Amino acid sequence: MSWQSLKIPANATIAEALSDALTNLGALSVSIEDADADSAQESPIFGEPGMHDGMQETSLWHHNMVSALFEQDVDLLAIVHQAAAEIGLESLPYSIEDVPEQNWVLTTQAQFAPIQIREHLWIVPTWHDVPQPESINIILDPGLAFGTGSHPTTHLCLSWLMDHIEAGDSVCDYGCGSGILAIAAKKLGAGYVVGTDIDPQAIIASRQNALQNKVEVSFYLADAIPTLEVDIVVANILSLPLKLLAPALAGACRSGGKIALSGILREQASEVSAIYAEWFAMNPPLYMENWVLLSGVKN
């Protein structure tokens, strides 16, 4: 059996109402995604502890893509007209794609093969055999959280950790996602390691992945993390939260400690680096594709 995927661009004002309308009109599934993902206009949706109301982001992006899956015999033109009417619009822009029948589990798993970060560091999905047992292997189930090891920013952070972690270092992974950086830090010889995220699913996935890797890492929701002063702070998120959270991340790093920041596009690097220069002696940036890692030593 095949399906049809209906995609409709929507601003934050109508995206949720449109999603509800498509669900009511028989969509098998509906998702709302950032239409500007992987561009300079990409924006986070978050609510960090300690941020005043004026700094809180909305629950949706400025530019959204609403995607709905329907059975093949459904009249999608009629669905679009009905959905527009339900949310008080005369018309909606849309596109339609055919989705062929496939084994979704195998298709999803096929996207995540073992990834070699450096000569002796691999990211290995739970359903794959370990390619080099003598190497450091992070066994990872991506679950519903960000962080599979495939993105350039994750490569940059993992490679940086390999070069800078010393035995027994304390480490904080801010925005831990799947827990990949915290788990890697522990396997690379760190002592106390803590990870934090605003997403409860990220904490669940991170704890499961830590158990899978037989490492002891503490994971907390961001509003429950204890006061920290660690040797290394690593944050692979996005430039906007990195800018807003600069005082908090600087405060979590001890004097003489190190920080590594990624999730930053090339054109954003100078601004982010200038903000962190208030607390850190910043190093030259590291690049991979259009992404940047910034690092520094706490004054």
**Ramachandran angles phi, psi of 5, nearest 5°:** -105, 120
Rounded distance between C-alpha atoms, residue 146 and residue 140, angstroms: 11
Question: What is the number of structural domains in the chain?
Answer: 2
Say yes or no: 113 and 93 in one domain.
no
- Among residues 101, 135, 158, the one where a domain terminates is 101
Say yes or no: 165 and 291 in one domain.
yes
Rounded distance between C-alpha atoms, residue 136 and residue 210, angstroms: 14
Average pLDDT over residues 230-240: 95
Single-letter code of the amino acid located at 275? I
CATH number at residue 81: 3.30.70.120
- Stated as kind and residue range, the H or E segment containing 186 is helix 180-187
Q: Are strands 230-236 and 171-174 parallel, antiparallel or unpaired?
A: parallel
Alpha carbon separation from 166 to 66, 161, 218, 236, 257 (Å, rounded):
46, 9, 19, 20, 11
**109: pLDDT strictly greater than 70:** no
Rounded distance between C-alpha atoms, residue 234 and residue 229, angstroms: 13
Rounded distance between C-alpha atoms, residue 200 and residue 289, angstroms: 31
Domain with 190 in it: 107-298
Count of other CB atoms within 10 angstroms of residue 73: 6
pLDDT at 12: 84
Tokens of 15: 């995206």
Say yes or no: 200 and 65 in one domain.
no
Rounded distance between C-alpha atoms, residue 113 and residue 104, angstroms: 16
Among 40-49, 210-219, 254-263, 280-289, the least confident range: 40-49
- Summarised one tens digit per residue, pLDDT across range 133-146 is 899 999 887 554 45
- Summarised one tens digit per residue, pLDDT across range 11-36 is 888 888 999 999 999 998 888 888 76
- Summarised one tens digit per residue, pLDDT across range 152-207 is 899 999 999 999 999 999 999 999 988 999 999 999 999 999 999 998 988 998 99
- Among residues 63, 85, 101, the one where a domain terminates is 101
- Among residues 35, 69, 101, the one where a domain terminates is 101
Query: Residue 90 half-sphere exposure, CB side, CA atoms within 13 Å?
Result: 0
CATH number at residue 251: 3.40.50.150
